[in-house]
Amino acid sequence: MNMEIPELQQFLEAMGQQKFRAKQIFQWIGRGVREIDDMTDLSRDLREKLKLSAHIGSLNIRRKLVSKIDGTAKYLFELTDGNVIESVLMRYKYGHTVCISSQIGCKMGCKFCASTQAGFMRDMTAGEMLDQVVSIGRDAGEKIGNIVIMGIGEPFDNYDNVIKFLRLIHDPNGMDMGYRHMTVSTCGLAPQIARFTGENMPVNLAVSLHAPDDKLREAIMPIGRKYSIDKLIEACKIYTEASGRRITFEYAMISGVNDSLETARKLALLLKGMFCHVNLIPANLVAGSGFDQSSKKHLLEFKEALVHSGIETTVRRELGSDINAACGQLRRSEMEKNS
């Protein structure tokens, strides 16, 4: 199911059906039904017709790992075309959060990231993104309160499908999730951040910064060559002003690369006065990447330097560290097993 209500109405009308059925079907999908036969308020005749021309689910759980430490669950899903992607269920005090993938693979080439190493296969549809949330909610028997698009892929490189997904999950007839409960994480496609500002969806924006100057950023993130930090920060400022939402800058701490006190000072200078927050991520690196995680001491000193300069800073809690929960790692190990 990859349709918003108006599309679903057209689809039904083309079948000679009444369009108010669209809302009923949409509500069933939001409640997580898997079989058209379970849509019990539709006539048997309509259900039979729908079965011939439509299907609901697009994912099957291939593997599921549950952390013994914190209950974080990692799902490896198989799509109808045989590709695999991963999604994560995190249990926070403020509600259950699902981290979804937006593409199969990634083109961005960040040097430290496992998701991009096997290359790019294709964009995901809005329905495939929605199905990650619906399938996990059904499997865990839990209400999903928040979503973050921080799994495999660059959401703004799949712009139209991501916007459609955000609308689908927001629809009051479906999952009815408020935009404030959604977060999009981008490696910094400045023009798309500007375009997104115009959508008037007050979702949380997270930007993977990882370095405060162009030279360093370009060395670890090829996208930095296309959009300078100045351009990126300018787009971010416009977003916060228009949406009233505070931006999160993600910063993976990599030993000897971007974790010095001098770098912290540069970062503080860059972000001074912005409505933002820095989230330091203890880098979760794959063996052989040539990068190492910063020591705890460096991490805390870096944080102190930012806080001292008036920049709100948190250190990301490591969830599911016993189950390879960092993005792209489970898919990668699965692909290596099969190759």
Burial of 190 by CB count in 10 Å (0-12 exposed, 13-18 middle, 19+ buried)?
buried
**For this structure, is 86 an active site residue?**
yes
Using CB under 6 A, pick the residue from 327, 330, 331, 332 that binds ligand SAH: 327
Q: What would the DSSP string read from start to end of 150-212? A: -SSS-GGGGHHHHHHHHHHHH-TTTT---GGGEEEEES--HHHHHHHHTTT---EEEEE---S
Nearer to ligand SAH, 134 or 150 (CB): 150
Residue 190 interacts with ligand SAH (CB under 6 A)?
no
CB of 297 to ligand SAH, least distance (A): 18
Which listed range, 17-25, 69-77, 185-193, 302-310, lies at the site for ligand SAH (CB under 6 A)? 185-193
- Rule CB under 6 A: is residue 116 a binding residue for ligand SAH? no
Which CB sits closer to ligand SAH, 240 or 279? 279
The position carrying tokens 């709100």 is 312
Active-site choice (4, 78, 86, 334): 86
The 266-295 contact track toward ligand SAH, x by CB under 6 A, reads: ---------------x-xxx----------
Nearer to ligand SAH, 127 or 151 (CB): 151
185 binds ligand SAH (CB under 6 A): yes
How many CA atoms within 13 Å lie on the side-chain side of 142? 17
In the annotation, is 236 catalytic? no
Please tell me the number of Cα atoms within 13 Å of 283 on its side-chain side.
Answer: 28
Tell whether residue 87 is a contact of ligand SAH (CB under 6 A).
no
Q: Which is nearer to ligand SAH, 52 or 287 (CB)?
A: 287
Pick 57 or 188: Cβ nearer ligand SAH: 188
Q: Give the number of other CB atoms < 10 A from CB of residue 259.
A: 21
Under rule CB under 6 A, residue 252 binds ligand SAH: yes
Examine residue 25 and tell whether it contacts ligand SAH (CB under 6 A).
Answer: no
Site for ligand SAH contains 211 (CB under 6 A): no
DSSP assignment letter at 58: -
H-helix segments, the chain = 5-14, 21-30, 44-53, 126-140, 159-170, 190-197, 214-220, 223-226, 229-243, 261-271, 296-308, 329-338
Residue 116 DSSP SS3: helix
| Residue 154 interacting with ligand SAH (CB under 6 A) | yes
> What number of residues does the chain have?
339
For the annotated catalytic residues, the residue numbers are 86, 327
- Binding footprint of ligand SAH on the chain (CB under 6 A): 110, 112-113, 150, 154, 185-187, 208, 250, 252, 281, 283-285, 326-327
